[in-house]
Amino acid sequence: SLLFNIDQKATIVAKDQTDALLKVFVKVFDESRGYFGSQGHVARFERDLDNRGQYEQFKAAYTQIAGRDWAYGREEGVLEEANVAKAYAMVTGNSDGAPTNILTKYRNEYSVSIEDFAGEVKAWVDKQEEGFRLNFFVDEVGQFIGSNTHLMLNLQTIAESLNTKCQGRAWVFVTSQEDMDKVVGDRTKQQGNDFSKIQARFRARVKLTSADVEEVIRKRLL
């Protein structure tokens, strides 16, 4: 299970971006697999190496060439292009034809979509033991969404796509400190209609008052 506060994880994402929620989900999922979630194109590069069974070899080769761990080198991205290219060539055995700016190529071609994300989650879940289920617990989602119905629609599409692709093996749980209707504030009539339609897709709702939370902590955790 992946539990995260969406505001904390969205430090590099602007809320007015149509794919703001998706980028946070992708970042968290990448980080859970040991990839560099803060830079999506670097994480994609690492994932591709991993799928080829070359990721561990690449990290070892990079450390040998650069003299430091890949966990630090990847934070500098483009500045490490030369060392990345050398390590990549060493691992693939293609020193003549290996690109010298592979991270730049990944950055220029990088894009995310809900369908691709759901497919990637499915591919990863399929590799786990039978009966495995991946749960995304998203804290403070009400505050993050606010009155933005596009973000709410984005959340709905992510949940539905994960359910469809993964056949019930990936779930999305969201929390909000207040009643969702209070959090989103005043809305136009059209926004209200859109929001009601979206909320109807999330039928399982659990409302906890401050007293309920205290009881859960005392009886279940202490």
Share of the chain above pLDDT 70, in %: 73
68 plus 123 within the same structural domain: no
* Packing angle, helices 189-199 and 149-166, rounded to 10: 20
Compute the distance between CA of residue 2 and CA of residue 205 in angstroms, rounded to an integer: 19
In this structure, the answer to whether residues 95 and 125 fall within a common structural domain is no
How would you class 117 by CB atoms within 10 Å of its CB: exposed for 0-12, middle for 13-18, buried for 19 or more?
buried
Last residue of a domain, one of 109, 130, 155: 109
Q: What is the 3-state secondary structure (H, E, C) of 199-218?
A: HCCCCCCCCCCHHHHHHHHH
Q: Is the pLDDT of residue 222 over 50?
A: no
| pLDDT attached to residue 173 | 86
* Residues 130 and 209 reside in one and the same domain: yes
**Token pair for residue 198?**
């979206």
Location of structure tokens 């926004």: 191
Q: How far apart are CA 53 and CA 171, in angstroms?
A: 28
Question: Do residue 105 and residue 117 come from a single domain?
Answer: no
Q: Is residue 25 part of a domain?
A: no
Give yes or no for a contact between 155 and 199, defined as CB atoms under 8 angstroms apart: no
Total of domains in the chain: 2
Is 33 within the bounds of a domain?
no
Per-residue pLDDT at 183: 47
Q: Which residue has the higher pLDDT, 204 or 195?
A: 204
Model-wide pTM > 0.75: yes
Domain hosting residue 150, numbered range:
2-19+113-221
For residue 154, what are its two tokens?
């984005």
Query: What does the pLDDT look like over 42-62, one tens digit per residue?
Result: 999 999 999 999 999 999 999
Give yes or no: residues 217 and 161 share one domain: yes
Among 59, 77, 109, the domain-final residue is: 109
Structural domain includes residue 71 = yes
Q: Within this chain, do residues 134 and 185 fall inside the same structural domain, yes or no?
A: yes
